[in-house]
């Protein structure tokens, strides 16, 4: 992508009312744009990150047998009445022309349960795990955490359907492992994101949240050093301030943001919709359900909160919008031609390149933009490097660049 043609550009300042670091940096660097509080447009750079996160999550869901669908956002209110969620403050309501009440989905048990009921009714057709990436709507009272808490956002939500609690629990464990791999791949692993014990509601002892530790987090969690799990604020007293896995009472209070959660739903939703299957003996049995969420837009904000410095974003390789930021300081036509050729060559080798080919922009401004956008590897080509047949390489995480021979470039990428 030629930066001269990129339709967004970097800005010196973020909107004054934008207090969160993730939104300030994402807006200034041209990844997102704010329409109003809690509602953002995702711009070309941001969408590249979005799709990479989505793809990582998709691969891990497919690996445990998930099948992807896309459910509607509009839902008849009757479905929410069945699950007694129709009066929730955070539910957005709307109407059809004929007066029928609809809601904008905030989660999709109300759509997926009757859908499965239509197609899956025998033990022979179970288990099933179905997931989607969908826009969700929540009428939040306040939305001040940038894209970490939006009124409209994208989530991956998976729902599992099993014939017994035992089979469900085995799948739940698989999902836990998949979640650990996802956060590792997103650059949120290695102790940054902890499986956190949370209230299971009335139908299970616990649910699990995936909480990323960050000072701007809205949640308080209590972490156990020994087993790398945490407990959320709601159940810390109930657990007598002890780790549920090792019994240690040496717990550290930390601020965190919830990036995912997994729930054992037991028969809560199958009961609400009277969803049963026929077992080997021909008897009707309730279907055992689970749900598994990850906030995709929230993950973008969380990655930025945990990967930045005072100059800008520092994207992990796995989700960076481009692998290489090629910055040209060339001015003479013959040099510009060589820089163009290098850009074509890198692309031909399958490398994703943002090419800063802008004319009339000072070197200092180009470097500042490069640091702000945060692509992992910066290459600088100039009259001087071309004369010496070299190129300057700097990782976003490094202070000083390294000069290498142009012929050796590929071994450094
Ligand atoms: Zn422990």
Ligand 1 centre from 225 Cα, in Å?
Answer: 7
Q: CATH number of the domain that 392 lies in?
A: 3.40.50.800
Ligand 1 centre from 211 Cα, in Å?
Answer: 16
Q: Give the separation between CA 18 and CA 408, rounded to whole angstroms.
A: 44
Q: Are residues 185 and 263 in the same domain?
A: yes
Q: Are residues 75 and 201 in the same domain?
A: yes
| DSSP-derived secondary structure for 279-341 | -TTS-EEEPEEEEEEEEHHHHHHHHHHHSEETTEE---GGG-S-SEEEEE---SHHHHHHHHH
Q: Is the residue at 5 inside a domain?
A: no
Q: Is the residue at 9 inside a domain?
A: no
Q: Are residues 297 and 333 in the same domain?
A: no
Ligand 1 centre from 219 Cα, in Å?
Answer: 20
Ligand 1 centre from 113 Cα, in Å?
Answer: 36
Ligand 1 centre from 167 Cα, in Å?
Answer: 26
Ligand 1 centre from 236 Cα, in Å?
Answer: 13
Ligand 1 centre from 257 Cα, in Å?
Answer: 20
Q: Are residues 250 and 176 in the same domain?
A: yes
Ligand 1 centre from 396 Cα, in Å?
Answer: 36
Ligand 1 centre from 306 Cα, in Å?
Answer: 24
Q: Are residues 257 and 403 in the same domain?
A: no
Domain boundary among 309, 339, 363: 309
Ligand 1 centre from 46 Cα, in Å?
Answer: 38
* 8 A C-beta contact, residue 143 and residue 37: yes
Ligand 1 centre from 230 Cα, in Å?
Answer: 8
Ligand 1 centre from 249 Cα, in Å?
Answer: 8
DSSP character for 235? G
Half-sphere exposure of 334 toward its Cβ, with a 13 Å CA cutoff? 4
Give the model's pLDDT for residue 73: 95
- What's the order of all strands across the beta sheet hosting 324-328? 353-356, 324-328, 377-381, 390-395, 402-405
Ligand 1 centre from 305 Cα, in Å?
Answer: 26
Q: Are residues 190 and 333 in the same domain?
A: no
Q: Are residues 51 and 146 in the same domain?
A: yes
Q: CATH number of the domain that 68 lies in?
A: 3.30.930.10
Give the model's pLDDT for residue 71: 97
* 8 A C-beta contact, residue 259 and residue 188: yes
Ligand 1 centre from 244 Cα, in Å?
Answer: 7
* 8 A C-beta contact, residue 297 and residue 153: yes
Ligand 1 centre from 14 Cα, in Å?
Answer: 41
Ligand 1 centre from 299 Cα, in Å?
Answer: 26
Ligand 1 centre from 187 Cα, in Å?
Answer: 23
Q: Is the residue at 3 inside a domain?
A: no
Q: Are residues 55 and 183 in the same domain?
A: yes
Q: Mind listing the pLDDT tens digit of every residue in the chain (413 residues)?
A: 999 999 988 999 988 888 889 999 999 999 999 998 889 999 999 999 999 999 999 999 999 999 999 999 999 999 999 999 988 989 999 999 999 999 999 889 999 999 999 999 999 999 999 999 999 998 888 776 777 778 999 999 999 999 999 999 999 999 999 999 999 999 999 899 999 999 987 667 899 999 999 998 889 999 998 899 999 999 999 999 999 999 999 999 999 999 999 999 999 999 999 999 999 999 999 999 999 999 999 999 999 999 999 999 999 999 999 999 999 999 999 999 999 999 999 999 999 999 999 999 999 999 999 999 999 999 999 999 999 999 999 999 999 999 999 999 999 98
Q: Is the residue at 223 inside a domain?
A: yes
Ligand 1 centre from 301 Cα, in Å?
Answer: 29
| DSSP-derived secondary structure for 143-199 | --SGGGS-SEEEEEEEEEEESSHHHHHHHHHHHHHHHHHHHHHTT-TTTTEEEEEEE
Ligand 1 centre from 247 Cα, in Å?
Answer: 6
Ligand 1 centre from 164 Cα, in Å?
Answer: 29
Is residue 348 within a helix (H) or strand (E), and if so which, with residue range? Answer: helix 333-348
Give the model's pLDDT for residue 18: 86
Q: Are residues 166 and 58 in the same domain?
A: yes
Domain count, the chain: 2
Ligand 1 centre from 242 Cα, in Å?
Answer: 8
Residues whose CB is under 5 A from ligand 1 (ion)? 224, 226-227, 243, 245-246, 248
Ligand 1 centre from 265 Cα, in Å?
Answer: 25
Give the model's pLDDT for residue 202: 65
Is residue 118 within a helix (H) or strand (E), and if so which, with residue range? Answer: helix 109-119
Preceding omega of 162 cis (within 30 degrees of 0): no
Give the model's pLDDT for residue 33: 93
Ligand 1 centre from 168 Cα, in Å?
Answer: 25
Q: Are residues 296 and 343 in the same domain?
A: no
> Residue 392's domain spans which residues?
322-412
Q: Is the residue at 4 inside a domain?
A: no
Ligand 1 centre from 227 Cα, in Å?
Answer: 4
Ligand 1 centre from 294 Cα, in Å?
Answer: 24
DSSP character for 186? T
Max Cα-Cα span within the chain: 82
Q: Is the residue at 317 inside a domain?
A: no
Domain boundary among 309, 342, 375: 309
Q: Are residues 295 and 400 in the same domain?
A: no
Q: Give the separation between CA 191 and CA 196, rounded to whole angstroms.
A: 12
Q: Is the residue at 282 inside a domain?
A: yes
Q: Are residues 147 and 241 in the same domain?
A: yes
* 8 A C-beta contact, residue 252 and residue 223: yes
Q: Give the separation between CA 171 and CA 250, rounded to whole angstroms.
A: 31
Strand, helix or coil for residue 65: coil
Q: Is the residue at 64 inside a domain?
A: yes
């Amino acid at each position: 992508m030629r930066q001269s043609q990129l339709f967004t550009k970097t800005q010196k300042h973020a909107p004054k009312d934008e207090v969160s670091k993730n939104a300030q940096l994402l807006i200034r660097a041209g990844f997102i744009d704010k329409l109003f509080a809690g509602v953002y447009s995702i711009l070309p750079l941001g969408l590249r990150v979005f799709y990479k996160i989505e793809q990582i999550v998709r691969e891990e869901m497919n690996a445990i047998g998930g099948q992807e669908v896309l459910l509607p956002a509009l839902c008849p209110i009757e479905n929410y009445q069945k699950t007694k969620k129709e009066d929730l403050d955070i539910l957005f309501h709307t109407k059809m022309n004929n007066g029928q009440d609809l809601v904008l989905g905030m989660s999709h048990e109300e759509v997926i349960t009757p859908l499965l009921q239509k197609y899956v009714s025998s033990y022979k057709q179970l288990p099933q795990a179905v997931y989607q990436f969908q826009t969700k709507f929540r009428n939040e009272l306040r939305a001040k955490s940038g894209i970490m808490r939006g009124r409209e956002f994208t989530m991956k939500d998976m729902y599992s359907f099993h014939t017994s609690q035992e089979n469900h629990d085995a799948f739940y464990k698989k999902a836990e492992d998949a979640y650990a791999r996802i956060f590792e791949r997103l650059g949120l692993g290695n102790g940054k994101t902890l499986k956190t014990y949370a209230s299971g509601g009335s139908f299970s002892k616990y649910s699990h949240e995936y909480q990323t530790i960050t000072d701007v987090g809205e949640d308080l969690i209590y972490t156990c050093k020994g087993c790398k799990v945490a407990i959320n604020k709601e159940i810390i007293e109930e657990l007598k301030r002890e780790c549920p896995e090792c019994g240690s009472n040496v717990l550290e209070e930390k601020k965190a943001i919830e990036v995912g959660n997994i729930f054992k739903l037991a028969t809560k939703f199958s009961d609400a919709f009277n969803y049963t299957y026929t077992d080997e003996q021909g008897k009707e049995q309730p279907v055992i359900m689970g749900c598994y969420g990850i906030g995709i837009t929230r993950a973008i904000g969380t990655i930025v909160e945990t990967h930045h410095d005072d100059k800008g974003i520092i994207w992990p390789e796995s989700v960076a919008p481009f692998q290489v930021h090629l910055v040209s300081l060339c001015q003479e036509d013959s040099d510009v031609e060589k820089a163009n050729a290098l850009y074509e060559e890198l692309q031909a080798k399958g490398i994703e390149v943002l090419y800063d080919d802008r004319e009339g922009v000072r070197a200092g401004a180009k470097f500042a933009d490069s640091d702000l956008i945060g692509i992992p590897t910066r290459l600088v080509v100039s009259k001087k490097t071309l004369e010496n047949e070299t190129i300057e390489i700097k990782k976003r995480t490094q202070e000083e660049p390294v000069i290498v021979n142009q012929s050796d470039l590929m071994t450094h990428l």
